[in-house]
Amino acid sequence: MQVIGNKLFYLTNSTSKNLVLNLISSKDSYYSFSSINQELKKENKNIFSQKKWSKINVINTNNEFLILPSKVPEFLKKINIDKTIGNSSSTEKKTKKLKKLNFTFYIKKNKENKITNNINHIGNILLDEFLDNTSISKKMYLSILHNKLYVCVVDKNNLLFYNQFEFSNSDYLKYILLVFEEYELDIKKTEINLLDNTIKLNELKKFFNKINLYKKSIFEIIDKYNG
């Protein structure tokens, strides 16, 4: 299934029913994923007006983001980051503060983003979770939502790498291997944590030794962040 746009919608009503909506190729519908049982369900596009939600959060998943240290080095202060990234009058800049980092992303000004002021990026949500973990060694975190792979590498609560890759079939493995090579990670010792079972264990075990299922799914991480 192909993702349209780059958004998830996290909705909460007074009965604490949580939904994560993803825009999937369809003329008249959204598809929702229950953050409890992760079942796919077809929803009418009028879902926003049909139900009285107590909270609506937009979660952007685009690739237009930038991660910088909280204390920006002098040479970076001289660079027009907004111009480099491509920020314009049709986009809006958002910055989320993390541990020692600022996560900046850019969203288009459109009606979908006007339904709420609660707008985050999937990257700042994931990093908020991973950088809070206590670790004495390098760890990789992996997740897949449809045709996009999310990769994060943390070393002793410091971020080494975060990025997102669109892929087809099983070629997501090449991105994982490239990160291992670039950051000289030990395939026998580096712990890989999977946020879900969308990545086939048999494929990973051909290359890596330490593979674990993370204590939370990506939807549970979203739940915690927006809870």
Render each residue's pLDDT in the chain as its tens digit; 227 residues.
Answer: 344 456 667 666 555 556 666 655 455 667 676 656 666 677 776 777 666 677 777 888 888 899 999 888 777 777 777 766 666 667 888 899 998 899 998 887 765 556 666 889 999 999 999 998 777 889 999 998 777 899 999 998 899 999 999 888 778 999 999 999 999 999 999 999 999 877 888 889 999 999 999 999 888 888 888 86
Contact (Cβ atoms closer than 8 angstroms) between residue 191 and residue 137: yes
How confident is the model at residue 51, as a pLDDT? 62
Q: Of 3.40.50.720, 3.40.190.10, 3.30.428.10, 3.30.420.260, which CATH number belongs to 124-226?
A: 3.30.420.260
How confident is the model at residue 25, as a pLDDT? 45
Pairing relationship of beta strands 191-194 and 138-145 according to DSSP bridges: parallel
Total Cβ atoms within 10 A of residue 48: 17
For 208, the token pair is 């890596």
- Using one digit for the tens of pLDDT, what is the confidence trace for 87-113? 666 788 889 999 889 999 888 776 555
How confident is the model at residue 22, as a pLDDT? 62
Torsion angle, CA of 140/141/144/147, rounded to 10 degrees? Answer: -40
Q: Which amino acid is at 24?
A: I
For 73, the token pair is 């080095």
How confident is the model at residue 86, as a pLDDT? 62
How confident is the model at residue 44, as a pLDDT? 73
Domain residue extents for the chain: 124-226
Q: What is the pTM of this model?
A: 0.83
- Using one digit for the tens of pLDDT, what is the confidence trace for 22-55? 655 455 667 676 656 666 677 776 777 666 677 7
